[in-house]
Structure formats: C-alpha cells, structure tokens
Structure 1
Amino acid sequence: MLSFKRPVLLAGRLFRNSHSTNGDLSFLDSVDHYFNKAAEISSVDKGLLAFIKACNSIIKFHVPLKRACGKLELIEGYRAQHSHHRLPVKGGIRLGPNVDANETMALAALMTYKCAVVNVPFGGAKGSVRIDPSKYTSTEKEAILRRYTVELVRRNYMGPAIDVPAPDYGTGSLEMAWIKDTYSFLRHTDINASGCVTGKPISEGGIQGRQEATGLGAFFVLREFFNDEDLVRKVGLTRGVKDKTFIVQGLGNVGLHASEFIHRAGGRIIAIAERHGGLVDETGKGLDIEVVKSYHKKNGTLNGLPNVKNITDTEKILELPCDVLIPAALESQIHSGNADRIKAKVIAEAANGPLTPAADKILEGKGVVILPDLLVNAGGVTVSYFEWLKNLNHIEFGRMTRRMEEHGKRVLLSALENQYGNGHKIPTSLRDELSRGNTEVDFVHSGLEETMVTGWENVKKTAQEKGCSFRKAAYLVAIERIAKSIGDQGIFP
C-alpha cells in the first residue's frame, strides 16, 4: 500500500510527517501506538494482532466539479474500510481542507475499535472529501457528494450490507439525504436502500434521538464515572455530576448536546472554546446553555454574547482550572506543547483522538483521569446501528407495541384504584404520565444508555483487572473481541 504523509496540524502548530521535534505522533501513528500498547498485554497471537491493526483497503479518486463561476475543479475523495470482520463496515464522511489518506485510515481504525468496545456489529470505515465546506455553496456540495456516492457505488464500496456512511465533521442530515437519494436511484431495486446511510432526516428513514446521540452517550459515561465513589475520590472529587465544573471545546453537534445534558444534571459549564472565539463564565454559576445555544444558532459564532467574558485565544480556555475538560472538536488538540498546562482533573474525549500519545503520557503522569474516545464518543455509531436496524425492518420502534403498553398500564392503574384506592382516584395528569407508552426516542435513549453503561462497566473492569488506564483497557476490550470474532469465523484456524 502507498504511504501517504502530510504535515500534521496540532492546535494551530505545524508538525512535519510522523514525528515532531516535540515528540508528537501523527494521528494515524497515534492510533497505532495506542493499539500496540494494549496489544502488549493481550493474549492474542502476534500475526492476528497485525491482521486486526492493518487497514484492509482504501480508495482514492477525484470528483470533477464545475463551480458557479465556471471554474473546473478536481475534488479529492477517500474511503477507507479498515476491517471486514463484521459487515457492513460503518463510518462517517468528513469534509475538510486537510483531509488525506492517513487521517481517513486513522478514523476508520478508530471506528473498528469503537464498535467492538460497545459491541455494535460493524467493521470500521471512514470517508473524506478534501474541501473547505465554508467556501462552497450548498449546490456545489450537493454535486460533490452525489458524485462521491456514484464513485463508491461504482466500486462496490457502499450498500446496506457492504458499507454504510454517516455524518461527520462538515456533514449532517441534509448531506446524508443527498447520498441516500443518489444510492436509491442507482440501486432502485434494493428494498433496503434506506439502510445505505445513517444520520438521515426523520422523513427519509432517520431515527429519533440520532442528533443528540454522541453527546448523550458521552454524558452517560461521565455520569457513571462520577457515580463511582472510589474513582472520583482518587482525583479529589465527590460523587455526582452536580456542581462539578466543565470546560467544553467545540459547540458542534457533540459538544452542544453534551453541554445540555450536563447542564440539566446540575453540572456547571464554566467555559466553551469554539473555532472563532470562546466564552468564560465569571459568575461561578456556569453558562446558561440555552442562551448560548440560541445566540450561536442565530449568529453562527459565540463572539459578542453579552454578560460573559469573550476570549479570542480559545486554546487558552483549555488551560483554565476545571474538574472536567471535554474536547469535542478535532484530533490532536491537546499535545506535547500544551498538555503540561492542562489543569483539568478528568478529560472525557468526546472527539476522535483529541490527545496525542505525548500529551496522554504527560497528563497520566499528573494523575489526570482520561476517559477514552473509543468509549466516550461511541453513542453516535450506537444509534446509527439502531437506525440501520429500523431501515432493514421497515418499521419504526414502538409502532407495534405503544398502544398495547398504554392499554395494559391503564388496566393496571384502574385495578389498583378499585382494589386499594379507597375511593380515591389518580389525578388525570399523573394517570396520563404513568400510562404513556414508549415512543421511538424512548427506545433509542434506553438502548443507548444500556450500551454505554455496559461498555463503561467492561472497560472499568478490564482496567482494574489489568492495572492499566481506561484507554489501554478500551483498546484491549476491542482487540480481544475482534480476535474472538475472527477466530469464530475460522479465518485463522
């Protein structure tokens, strides 16, 4: 396979090739580094470990685009399929000016390990298109992504049983609708065509709860961590999310929803760092997330929000004292150049690969607890799995059971009133609440919570048994689960 290398941008600083003078690795090398560290304490055969780590395949192609100004451009596209031990493979499509083969392969590898950690039956994949989405019109982006879809289908790199993309940085539900429509046109006899992509609008076969899934999943992991008194005591904190201080980097889909759930649980968001500016609360009460959300939606920036401190050097926000730092932006944001200035007691990696191995080592040496990306941001692919299942079953969750549940609950409540009520009736509002049947979003949130809590328990147990970090434990869980799947298939007799 060709080796694709490029300078790596780490939080505004340029690092050359795989190794910088400061000791930071590239994103792909970082993922391999973490894998290798976990592999050292696994019982898996070395040949099988090499097979698990290797990217099975990657394609690169060019998409022609005639822009509104009449200029003809060639747009670079990639799709990496890291592991086919489970099918379909799964992973988002990212738009960015600096994406390349190495980054795409790194993200695909993370998807493989992430799915294994939370026991979602997919192999890992990732796609990318090398453009700055802010410099292209919606019509131009639609043309690019429709042609990108054509190229994937032409190479048999897409389909509900083959490879199922999803949103990532620079894409959302609208872009997934374009992809689904293009695939359905090309494969018009495929009855499961809606399952070719996830993260779609509800009207196009999407699922309730997908938008907040990654942020909610991150919250579930944080909640479980803070419910463990022994763990939080080691970092000098008390149980519960309430009154803990949080700093969030990134107010995209992940950071925003994580902030909302933390705020509802009583946590205090004391600062938010965004690409074009950040906010710091100086009242001690924490930022009002609903006000921040509304302002950001209206203005497209946090700059100028009244009654809070506005900061332009957003990297400095990461270095403010807090209980929990949540990097929810891009990879390699905490590195050898700033790790020693991080004052958080806990870091929850809601982004993919936000810490370099050099930063990881520095922070672990300071006693910082790192909740790894393989688990923390697995909520998105978990609910994508539910959406895929919904598409294959051609029915929304709850449609067959909701009315039956409500009828059964009403009968039970009436029986309780007649038997034990002594003439007293349950108030109508309470009766309505108690007898409400489960909706699709109820099933999704319940399934997500079960997945994230079980994933956390497995990672925590492994870390305790092996005496290692949560990151190494997460990689070890993934390695051993993938190895078992491959072994059960008889690929390595």
Structure 2
Amino acid sequence: MSTAPLLSVDWTDHVTGRRGHLVVDRLVRGVASGGLRMRPGCTRAEVAGLARAMTYKEALHYDPEARYVPLGGAKGGIDCDPRDPEAYGVLVRYLRAMRPYVERFWATGEDLGLSQELIDRAAAEAGLVSSVQAVFPLLDDEAAARRRLADAFALRVDGLGLDALIGGFGVAESVLAVLDRAGEPAAGARVALQGFGTMGGATALFLERAGMRITAVADERGTIANPAGLDVTALLAARDAHGTVNRAALRPGDRAEAGYAWLSADVDVLVPAAVSYAVDTANQAWITARWIVEAANLPVLPDAEELLTSRGVTVLPDVVVNSGTNAWWWWTLFGDVGADAEEVFTYTRRAMRTLVGDTLDRADKDGTTPRAAAYALAEDRMAALAERHGWYGTDGPRPAD
C-alpha cells in the first residue's frame, strides 16, 4: 500500500486562527470513513496516522457475504480545547469549510472531544444533511437505512444509549477473547483503565458484568483505585459529560491517586481508553499487566510497544479493539443488523471475537506481534476490496500502489 495519503487538507479558522485538518487515506467505492476529533495540540501528522488506522479498521471487517462493504479511511482533527467557549463556533465553521468533502466522500462522526449529538447539531447548522451523507448513494434504500440508523441511535439499554455502549462492548469482547485464548478465567481477573468517557465507561461496565474486577480508573483529575474492585455503576452515575468522576461518590476503600497510577496498577489487563501516545518508552517500565488492550487510538508508542513485547507483554492493537463502533454504524446503515440491541450485541460479539482470533492466529503463524498481524490481514483484505470494488466506484481504475 502507498504510504502517502490520497488527500490532505489544512484549514485555518478566520475568526479565531485555530487550525484544523482533514486527511483521506484511501477511498473504496469513492467514499472514506473516519471520525472528527477536537483536542488542543491536534496536528496534521496525528490526523494522518489516524486516517491510516481507519483504513485498516475498515478493511479488517471485510466480509464478502455481508451487505456492508468497508469504506476507505479518513480522519478530521481540530486544534482546540472542546471545553473552550469558542469551540462550538470553531466546529461549525470547520464543517462549513469541509462541506464539499462531507457531501461527496467523507463520512464522519464522533471522536475524542466531540459527541455525535454535537456533531449532528453543528452539521445541520453548517448546511449538511448528515455527517454520513457521503454514504447515502451507496445504499439500496436510503430512506429505510436512515430510519434504521435513527431507530438504533434511539435505543436505550439500562438507561444508556446503545451508541454509547457498543464501542465499549466491542473492547470488552476483545479482552474476553484474549483471556479465553490464554485459558485464563475472566472471573476475578483485574483490569485498570485510562479514560472513563464513552469508550472507557462502557468497557468497564461490560467487563464488570463478565466477572472481572475493575481496580483502577483514571480520568482528568487522577486515578481512582480499589484493589477489591470499584463500583462501576456508581462511578458511571457520578461522571460528567467529559468522563470525569465526582469524587464525592467514592466509597470507603476507594483511593484517589495520581493520574499516572493506572499504569502501575497490579492488574492482569490494562485498557488505555483515552488519549493517544499515553504509553512511552519511560512509563512502559511501570506496567506489570500481562495484556494491553488498546481502546484508544494510538495509545502505545511504537518504541514502547517494542520494549513491552520484549518483556512478554501482549499489546492488542487499536485497529482491532476499537473498531466495533465504526463497524456498527455501517452494519446498521447497510442492513446487516437492525435496531435491536440483542441482535447488535450478538453480531458484534461474533465479529469481534472472530477478528481477535484471526489476528492472533496470524501473529502465531507469522511469528509477529498482533499489530503486525492485524496490518498484514488488513493489507490482504484491502487488496481484495480494491480488486472487487475499486477506489473510485465507477469512475475508473484504482491507482497503482
């Protein structure tokens, strides 16, 4: 695969001077998929790396028998603190500037710092029909597909929206698949998470329901720890819209510790579910967990992963682990699943466990890391996608790699 992205666009807000970026890594049938993030310090290089990861995430879910045909990979990013009073205006102006791309070939949605609800509101204000309207021409019945997606987003499970749960459910199933493969029981296994927003909170909930002990959770204010296990339901009820837990809700035995304490927690599984580049060559030495399951995008730096691997720590990569949310959108829109929570959970469980198994089988076969194996699988599936569906739809042959 070519290392250069297909398209890179830089944007400067004429009101605040803040910068934004769009990178389209690859198209399939003329469309690419990838979320829009907002965080201070977001760079073009970061967005490009995430766009390439989206290409892999899409391709890994290729099933020739399914209605959903994976799209290409893309990503958007805005260098702005989402809590800044000017952030919403910046978002609207960014989407106005990117409107031609969203209308034609970039299907986007929530990512770090931005909820889907906020993106939908800003997209409407920017004159867009939908943040995923580029996909509509690929649908057999657009009206039915849009109703199905709206109905799916309206579903509530135990008081939480299905859209807020499905990504964490996919992460939890990845963790459980790894433990099953290693012959380790889930019951009583200990987990620490960085991040308690949509992804981290849902992951913690489903792992707790599987019998695992959540012994440490980190948010913006630090780490909350309890070796006997935290009450995930109570912490979820006490978090704000940014995933920060009200410390008044802590029970006796819960300890407030430093922000980095989640890394050195005495656990079996570590789940970074917040920011990119969280594990570096220095702090990786604090990790005693046997497995790191990447719920966030790019949380473990490559040099750190090499050191972790050398001392027997298995890193299951983000392109596998957190791909469930993106896939669920398209399974629903294209009609592989309906607006039914049990159907969605069953389909997602099967898909994620199969993908984890395929990745670890390939790693064993090739004698490589799970990340290298996932990339190899993705490359194989991208070749099949390009051969069958092309880059530009009916516009002509795909470019040479």
Equivalent in the alignment of 2:346: 446
Structure 1 residues 473 and 214, CA gap change in structure 2 (3 angstroms): same
Is the counterpart of residue 218 in structure 1 residue 171 in structure 2? yes
Per the TM alignment, residue 85 of structure 1 is displaced from its structure 2 partner at its CA by 3.7
Task: Report the equivalent of 1:98.
Answer: 41
Residue 254 of structure 1, aligned match among 177, 196, 199: 199
* Aligned equivalents of 2:190, 2:35: Cα separation in 1: 31
DSSP-derived class of the 1:222 partner: helix
**Partner amino acid, structure 1, of 2:349:** E
**Which residue in the other structure is 2:71 paired with?**
122
Match of 1:289 in 2: 232
> Residue type of the partner of 1:166?
G
Question: Against the structure 1 CA distance between its residues 359 and 218, is the aligned structure 2 distance closer, same or farther, given a 3 Å change threshold?
Answer: same
CA distance in 1, matches of 2:273, 2:36: 17
Corresponding position of 1:340: 285
Shift of 1:300: 4.1
Q: Which amino acid aligns with 2:180?
A: N
Alpha carbons 2:31, 2:106 under 8 Å: kept: yes
Give the unaligned 5+ runs of structure 1.
Answer: 1-48, 66-72, 233-237, 399-438
Q: Distance in 2 between matches of 1:171 and 1:200?
A: 23
Residues 394-426 of structure 1, C-alpha deviations (whole Å, 9 max, x = no match): xxx65xxxxxxxxxxxxxxxxxxxxxxxxxxxx
1:183 to 1:199, Cα distance in 2 relative to 1, 3 A: farther
Return the letter of the residue paired with 1:74. Answer: G
Which of the numbers 463, 467, 490 marks the counterpart of 2:363? 463
Q: TM-score normalised to the size of structure 1?
A: 0.69
**RMSD in angstroms over aligned alpha carbons?**
3.0
Q: Which structure has the greater CA radius of gyration?
A: 1
Which amino acid is the alignment partner of residue 157 of structure 1? Y
Instruction: Tell me the CA shift for residue 326 of structure 1.
Output: 0.5
Determine the C-alpha separation between the residues in 2 that align with 1:482 and 1:146. 33
Who is 2:66 aligned against? none
Q: What amino acid does structure 2 have at the position aligned with 1:303?
A: R
- 1:372 corresponds to which letter in structure 2? P
Please state whether the residue corresponding to 2:279 is helix, strand or coil. Answer: coil
- Equivalent of 2:82 in 133, 137, 148: 133
- Contact 2:292 / 2:315 at 8 angstroms: preserved in 1? yes
Kept in 2, the 8 Å contact 1:90–1:124? The answer is: yes
CA distance in structure 2 between the partners assigned to 1:300 and 1:247 by the alignment: 16
- Please show how residues 170-319 of structure 1 align to structure 2 within 5 Å: 170-182=113-125, 192=136, 206=153, 208=155, 209-228=162-181, 232=182, 238-282=183-227, 284=228, 286-297=229-240, 300-304=244-248, 305-319=250-264
Answer whether contact 2:13 2:19 (CA < 8 A) is retained: yes
Q: Which amino acid aligns with 1:152?
A: M
C-alpha deviation, 1:61, in angstroms: 1.4
Cα deviation digits, residues 4-57 of structure 1 (max 9, x gap): xxxxxxxxxxxxxxxxxxxxxxxxxxxxxxxxxxxxxxxxxxxxx3x2x32111
Secondary structure at the aligned position of 1:318 is classed as: coil
TM-score by length of 2: 0.84
Q: Are 2:388 and 1:479 equivalent residues in the alignment? A: no
1:150 maps to 96
2: CA distance, partners of 1:301 / 1:293:
8
Native 8 Å contact 1:184 1:190 kept in 2: no
More divergent stretch after superposition (355-364 vs 301-310): 301-310
Which residue identity does 1:357 align to in structure 2?
Answer: P
Contact 1:58 1:79 in 2 (8 A): yes
Give the distance between the partners of 1:144 and 1:202, measured in 2 at CA. Answer: 27
Q: 1:78-113 CA deviation, whole Å, 9 max, x = no partner?
A: 111011145421111111110011111111111111
**Shift in alpha-carbon separation, 1:127–1:470, aligned structure 2, 3 A:** same
Partner residue, 1:355: 300
CA gap of 1:191–1:457, structure 2 versus 1, over 3 A, is: closer
Following TM superposition, by how much is the alpha carbon of 1:296 offset from its aligned partner in structure 2, in angstroms? Answer: 2.0
**Residue 11 (structure 2) aligns with:** 61
1:367 aligns to 2:312 (yes or no): yes
Give 1:121 shift: 0.6
Q: CA separation of 1:310/1:191 partners in 2, compared to 1, >3 Å: closer, same or farther?
A: closer
Aligned mates of 1:200, 1:464 — CA distance in 2:
43
Shift of 1:344: 0.3
C-alpha distance in 1 between matches for 2:19 and 2:127: 24
Distance, in Å, in 2 between the alignment partners of 1:269 and 1:277 is: 16
Pick closer, same or farther for the CA change 1:366–1:86 going to 2, 3 Å: farther
Q: Alpha carbons of 1:472 and 1:485: their partners in 2 closer, same or farther (altered >3 Å)?
A: same
Paired amino acid for 1:225: V
Q: Quick one: distance in 2 between partners of 1:96 and 1:62?
A: 15
Equivalence map 1:399-418=2 (5 Å): none
Unaligned runs of 5+ in 2: 63-68, 156-161, 391-396
